[in-house]
Structure 1
Amino acid sequence: MARTYERNTTRYWFDNDLPGLSLMCADFTRQDYPPHLHDGFVIAITEAGGSIIKSRGVVDEARPSSLLVFNPDEPHAGTMGRSQHWRYRSLYLSDDAIKVVAQGLGIDDIPRFNRNIFLDPDLIQSFLSLHYCLDGNTNGLRRQELLIGTFGSLFRRHGHGGSVIDRAPRDRMLIRQVMQRMTDQFADDLSLEELSRSVGLTPFQLIGLFKRGIGLTPHAYLMQIRLEHARDYLRRGIPIAQAAVMAGFYDQSAFTTYFRRCHGITPKQFVKAIRQVES
């Protein structure tokens, strides 16, 4: 639910699929956070404007080019400073969510961070994609992939201590096994955990294996299989909505969005072109 106060707008919610994960979208023109702490990790991505952050005896600035990370129980404070606007998205992970992430990474002890601000454009974009994904009605495999992949990258690049996050072996046979399962069960609701477990890998390892092996994530590869089947159904005269469900898409809207992203046209345009050739 959104709330407006003194020209500030905030929206805060708990994720339905991952206990212990909550999220917020904030757009502030006036806001001062006194020294406080959280019982879990806090990740914040500034989309516009900025603020002054105080933590560890250091004063720094949150900008769109920076990623904010706070460890559990780490005191910090924030003020608008000279900025007249601060729009950001944040994620809060308590113990239950941290355990799920740790399992996905194949570790027992989560790393911590020795500083709070990181200049990492790729990681910032990944966290924005994750937040937008969790803010919408997105495929479960895509959600899992972004969650584990993004936090895995954060901990590997910037974390200190904790367990070592193992990379996947360079094994083409394992990729082929998972690809075959996707081909056979393309319309099923496949999970990242299930696919990785079937070949003895962690979800994070499976993501890395696919990226290095074929240049696509597991979700992206599955979507290509589904698109291929959907196009075949459309060529056979099956209605768009029915073709979408048969191919494994959540609904016609999700199918249309992905079809347009990959082909630059809508399914309706594709069907129209087929009919023109046939007439």
Structure 2
Amino acid sequence: MKVEQDSRFQFIKSDHLPEVTALQAAMDRFTYDKHAHEEYAFGVTLSGRQDFFSSGTYHRSPPGNVIQLNPDEVHDGNSGVEEPLSYVMLYIHPRQIEPLFADAAGVKSVTDIRMNETLMADPVLRAHIVELVRLIASHVGSRIDQEHLLYKMAARVVQRCGRFEADDVVRRADMLLRQAKEFIHENVDADLSLDDLSEAANLSKFHFLRLFRRQYGITPHQYVINCRINAARSALDSGMSLNDVVYRYGFSDLSHFNRRFKRIYGMTPKQYRDNVVG
């Protein structure tokens, strides 16, 4: 997969919020493979048009629109017009933002909030996202500045959601698939089989395969690879060597790892390690 020279991807970790990463991206003819992140993702299209498939729907995001994705929500993405695409994203781990969701909602705790709106025109949320990206990318402002913006984002999301889905009304199939996903995350560096995953979900192998693909839009194998890539990114952030990452997460060789990583993050693992700004 070719990345044009005018495509640029810069990941910047917040100096003050330990589980928040900003992305500034400019791309032309690059196309993301289907993938998912363990974090909540909030983005704003700045110029061009951002085309992507998510939640069973094909979306087209013109400048100014807000994109929000739940953890593990499968999506792809590309520039939808001849003009180069420019956008920003915030990746926020559930541990960082879910307590803020709960506080904004006036409840003790919130788990698995599902944001039903993927694409929207919301100038309030847009302004919060763009400003938080600016503070992170420019390394300006204090911790309280970034925390305040993150809280305002959480409060706006809660306002738009209206309510939270309680655990006792989640369908049984969802709960069983969630067991399999948790098993994958806990054993991401193991040599997992379809039998292992279906047993974790207490489903027959073929029933599990059908349910998983229908629910998440990718096969269990694709999801495992995706989780390994995300875990490898975290390992690179912590300073693990490329060779150790390749070995630990079951890639056949560095070339295989490079190819998989680049299709999700727009750069090779080495480029990510050398260029990510902490």
State the TM-score, normalized to the length of structure 2: 0.52
Using the alignment, how far apart are the partners of 2:43 and 2:162 within structure 1? 16
Partner of 2:164: 161
Contact 1:104/1:148, CA 8 A, preserved across alignment: no
* Identity %, equivalent residues: 21
CA deviations on 1:26-82 (whole Å, 9 max, x unpaired) are 111222011111111011111111121111221111122310000011111112232
Matched, 1:137 2:140: yes
Give, as a single letter, the amino acid of the residue that structure 2 aligns with 1:57.
Answer: G
Using the alignment, how far apart are the partners of 1:153 and 1:145 within structure 2? 12
Using the alignment, how far apart are the partners of 1:142 and 1:8 within structure 2? 31
Using the alignment, how far apart are the partners of 1:78 and 1:66 within structure 2? 15
Matched, 1:12 2:14: no
Gaps of 5+ in 2: 167-278
Change (3 A) 1:7 1:159: farther
CA deviations on 1:226-245 (whole Å, 9 max, x unpaired) are xxxxxxxxxxxxxxxxxxxx
Give, as a single letter, the amino acid of the residue that structure 2 aligns with 1:145.
Answer: H
Partner of 2:154: 151
Which of 1 and 2 has greater Rg? 1
CA deviations on 1:131-172 (whole Å, 9 max, x unpaired) are 112223103322221110122112212364158xxxxxxxxx
Superposition deviation, residue 87 in structure 1 = 0.7
Using the alignment, how far apart are the partners of 1:96 and 1:82 within structure 2? 36
Gaps of 5+ in 1: 164-279
Contact 2:4/2:30, CA 8 A, preserved across alignment: no
C-alpha RMSD of matched pairs (Å): 2.2
Using the alignment, how far apart are the partners of 1:151 and 1:122 within structure 2? 12
Which structure is higher in RCO with an 8 Å CA cutoff and minimum separation 6?
Answer: 2
- Find 1:118's aligned residue among 114, 117, 120: 120
Contact 1:53/1:77, CA 8 A, preserved across alignment: yes
Partner of 1:166: none
Contact 1:114/1:160, CA 8 A, preserved across alignment: no
Using the alignment, how far apart are the partners of 1:83 and 1:7 within structure 2? 13
Using the alignment, how far apart are the partners of 1:77 and 1:160 within structure 2? 28
Q: Secondary structure at the match of 2:164?
A: coil
Using the alignment, how far apart are the partners of 2:69 and 2:29 within structure 1? 22
Using the alignment, how far apart are the partners of 1:133 and 1:37 within structure 2? 25
Partner of 2:110: 109
Q: Secondary structure at the match of 1:98?
A: helix
